[in-house]
Amino acid sequence: MSNPTLVMYDEEFQEINEVIGRLLNEANAKVIFLVDKNGQLISGVGETERFDTTSLASLTAGNIAATGGLAKLIGEKEFSILFHEGEKDNLHISIVGGRVILVVLFDNRSSLGLVRLRVKKSSEELSAIFEKLLVKSEEREKRGSSDFPFAEITDDDIDNLFS
Amino acid sequence: MSFINYASREINCKIVYYGPGLCGKTTNLQFVYQKTAPDAKGKMISLATETERTLFFDFLPLSLGEIRGFKTRFHLYTVPGQVFYDASRKLILKGVDGVVFVADSQEERIDANIESLENLRINLKEQGYDLDKLPYIIQYNKRDLPGAMSVEELRRELNPTDVPEFEACATTGEGVFETLKAVAKLILIDLKKGK
């Protein structure tokens, strides 16, 4: 496999939510999402119930993938920040630690400068957490530790899903 | 690449429908969308041209139910089938857990099928995947059309490795869920092995 499975544990999940929760306040944002580069939503804070978060995650990843493709065409590694300006709401999208996507939605109660500044600080913290997660997954893999929830499932469990 | 979240007790997997232009990938997803209970599906997104040709991808999130306390979610994607959208197809294959190759059974499309299948293999390889090691299903679509080749002929051309195959007519829905279930099952079995 080109990419190991992303595994999220309670401890890191809480740490991540603390960081993006703080960012939400400091950047005066409406909503913040963290999305895996493959389009899976990792977490979200703020007015998340107002949005179709699954679709948002998938489209954000598609957007990052497409601009990443553009970047490579012109000889860049990636475009690490995307900014979409709307009439009322704006999206600030950035890549964290090369692997996850941080999406900040804000309106005129904040500003691009403030968001950029706060995102930069939070990105470093988030990078460290994801780095830790990666190490943790690798260690568990090496130990052959099987807290993997699927190790014990039976064929019947799988069949039952479809009955 | 599946995503396992212990905090929310969820497992997310990605299925990609691949195949030549107009073979019925989007129609497969539309049928699944129509026939799935509202609480088990999210919104279907289609990034298409004005003439309803897929431009980037279609996306449909489905949740199948729980296994051992973990919610299993499948994200279904289609690729744009037209040859010149190759750059987009590569992007959508990133992080794929299982592939459905939708073949157009009509005789005049056999070359397009073969070309698309080769393209799938190459694009997967670029991402570091081997089609022979991925959960992979072939669907022979448009069985209802008069110009459809026999399944034996299609198998000879498109399925030399003898992967699970299904006959389908995506417009009426025949074979659509059988295909989806089969690939989802292969993915879960693969996860069980803890690859």
Structural domain boundaries of chain B? 3-192
* Chain B CB contacts of A20 below 8 Å: none
What is the residue-wise DSSP string for B49-84? -TTS-EEEEEEEEEEEEEETTEEEEEEEEE---SGG
Q: Identify which has the larger pLDDT, A147 or B140.
A: B140
Segments in chain B below pLDDT 50? none
Across the interface, whether the CB atoms of B59 and A58 are under 8 A apart is answered yes
Indicate the pTM of the whole model.
0.90
Residue-level pLDDT at B69? 87
Residue-level pLDDT at B40? 92
Whether complex ipTM tops 0.90: no
Non-local CB neighbours of B49 within 8 Å, separated by 6+ positions: B55
Closest CA to B142 of B114, B111, B112, B167: B167
Across the interface, whether the CB atoms of A9 and B7 are under 8 A apart is answered yes
* Chain B CB contacts of A5 below 8 Å: 1-4
Residue-level pLDDT at A147? 55
**For the segment A114-137, what is each residue's pLDDT rounded down to a tens digit?**
999 999 999 999 999 999 998 888
pLDDT above 90: residue A4: no
Nearest to A161 among B1, B5, B65 (CB): B65
**For the segment A30-86, what is each residue's pLDDT rounded down to a tens digit?**
999 999 998 999 999 999 999 998 999 999 999 999 999 999 999 999 999 999 999
How many CB atoms are closer than 10 A to CB B193?
Answer: 8
Closest CA to A112 of A83, A86, A81: A83
Residue-level pLDDT at A149? 67
Provide the 8-state DSSP code for B131: G
| pLDDT-based confidence at residue A6 (cuts at 50, 70, 90) | confident
Nearest to B1 among A38, A54, A153 (CB): A38
A150: its two tokens:
């699927």
How would you label A3-18 residue by residue, b for 16+ Cβ within 10 Å and e otherwise?
Answer: eebbbbbeebbebbbe
Q: Identify which has the larger pLDDT, A19 or B50.
A: A19
Rounded to the nearest integer, the mean pLDDT of chain A is 90
Residue-level pLDDT at A152? 73
Across the interface, whether the CB atoms of A38 and B7 are under 8 A apart is answered no
| pLDDT-based confidence at residue A138 (cuts at 50, 70, 90) | confident
Across the interface, whether the CB atoms of A152 and B57 are under 8 A apart is answered no
Domain boundaries along the sequence of chain A: 10-161
Q: Identify which has the larger pLDDT, A147 or A50.
A: A50
CATH superfamily assigned to domain B3-192? P-loop containing nucleotide triphosphate hydrolases (3.40.50.300)
Across the interface, whether the CB atoms of A161 and B14 are under 8 A apart is answered no
Strand bridging mode B45-48 / B54-67? antiparallel
Stretch A84-92: mean pLDDT: 97
| pLDDT-based confidence at residue A1 (cuts at 50, 70, 90) | very low
B113: its two tokens:
């099928």
State the nearest Cα–Cα gap between B175 and chain A, in angstroms. Answer: 15
CATH code for the structural domain at A10-161? 3.30.450.30
A90: its two tokens:
């704006």
A36: its two tokens:
């895996």
